Amino acid sequence: MSQITLKHLRYFEALAHHGHFGRAADVCAISQPALSVQMQELERILGAPLIERGARRIRLTRLGEEFSARAREVLRSVDELSDLARASRNDLSGPFRIGIIPTIAPYLLPAFVKRLSLRHPDLDPHPREAVTQTLIDELLDGRIDAAIVALPVSEPSLTEVALFEEDFVLVRSEEDAGKPVPSSDKLREMRLLLLEEGHCFRDQAISYCNLSSSLPRDLMEASSLSTLVQMVGAGIGVTLIPEMAVRIETRSAAVSIAHLPNPQPSRTVGMVWRNTNPLAEHLTAIAELFREVGVDAA
């Protein structure tokens, strides 16, 4: 087993994650045939198959699934050894893989990356936009270093740092601008447009309107806040969006904005990372940098 190298593990982990030789080869910056050769060599060393090769996708064998989990642990430990050395320096350098949810990324990520580059010129940011559960999974697997999400995530192996609170606002058509602002009970009777499943912002909106037990049959969903706001502008219904999205999403839509009555719906934006990450002190400083961006944008 001493013939197994970190290169084998990284290539196999990429293949296990993407389920496709072409995409995994692109991520690893090698050719598809070269990746195939490496996987055949790894299977030869182990003396057992790790992969079932299909026409379009690959499947892991039972051994492959267990091997993948162990390989992730090894790679995460190796990365943390590198981070241990990085943590000993006065300033951060090298790659920084940060995830951010779609209901925050378009509004704060550009300013954050710009400020991060000014504060840490030797740091190489690698932003990744995805829904919360995907980011948490990738964080636990060691594929990203930290994530900006809505708290809490309630994962014992992750450190959570709350950064700022943000209210939700109601988006209605221009014609409704002068009408009374509906309560959460009244919103349940209106055609409420929501993000599709997987977005934590959808769950927060459903919770505020107390719709969790009985979603309307004619519920309309979208994959982005931009689409929701444009649909409202077309007269299809109403929606909730985070306050940070108002300036960008409403500039080209025939809509009006209203603040909801107390208790106003809101979310806590925060940053999370693995408890074992040696860069915790640096990550705390980066979290404070993101908090500054959020406060400045308010």
pLDDT tens for each residue of the chain, 298 residues long: 568 898 998 899 889 888 889 888 888 889 999 999 999 999 999 988 999 987 678 889 999 999 988 888 888 888 877 777 676 666 777 889 999 999 999 999 999 999 999 998 989 999 999 999 999 999 988 889 999 999 999 899 999 999 999 999 999 999 888 889 888 888 878 888 989 888 898 888 888 877 765 665 556 788 899 999 999 999 988 999 999 999 999 998 999 999 988 888 899 999 999 998 888 888 999 999 999 999 988 7
Amino acid code (one letter) for 212: S
d(CA 132, CA 35): 31
Amino acid code (one letter) for 188: R
d(CA 171, CA 239): 5
Amino acid code (one letter) for 56: R
d(CA 72, CA 9): 8
The answer to whether 117 touches 111, Cβ cutoff 8 Å, is no
Buried/exposed 245-263: b ≥16 CB within 10 Å, e otherwise? bbeebbeebebbebebeee
Long-range contacts, stretch 186-189, CB < 8 angstroms, 24+ apart: 187/238
Exposed / middle / buried, residue 153 (Cβ in 10 Å: 0-12, 13-18, 19+): middle
Phi-psi region of 142 (alpha: psi -120 to 50; beta: other; left: phi over 0): left
Number of helical (H) and strand (E) elements in the chain, helices listed first: 11, 11
How would CATH label the architecture of 6-85? Answer: Orthogonal Bundle (1.10)
Alpha helices in 1-61 (DSSP H): 6-18, 21-28, 32-46
Domain boundaries, the chain: 6-85, 92-298
- Contacts of residue 191, defined as CB under 8 A and 6 or more positions apart, other chains included, come to 216, 218, 220, 236, 237, 238
- Contacts of residue 52, defined as CB under 8 A and 6 or more positions apart, other chains included, come to 58, 59, 60, 61
The answer to whether 58 touches 52, Cβ cutoff 8 Å, is yes
Fold: same for 6-85 and 92-298: no
How would CATH label the architecture of 92-298? Answer: 3-Layer(aba) Sandwich (3.40)
Nearest to 15 by CA among 73, 74, 78, 64: 64
Cβ atoms within 10 A of the Cβ of 105, count?
17
Alpha helices in the chain (DSSP H): 6-18, 21-28, 32-46, 62-87, 105-119, 132-141, 184-187, 200-209, 225-233, 246-249, 280-297
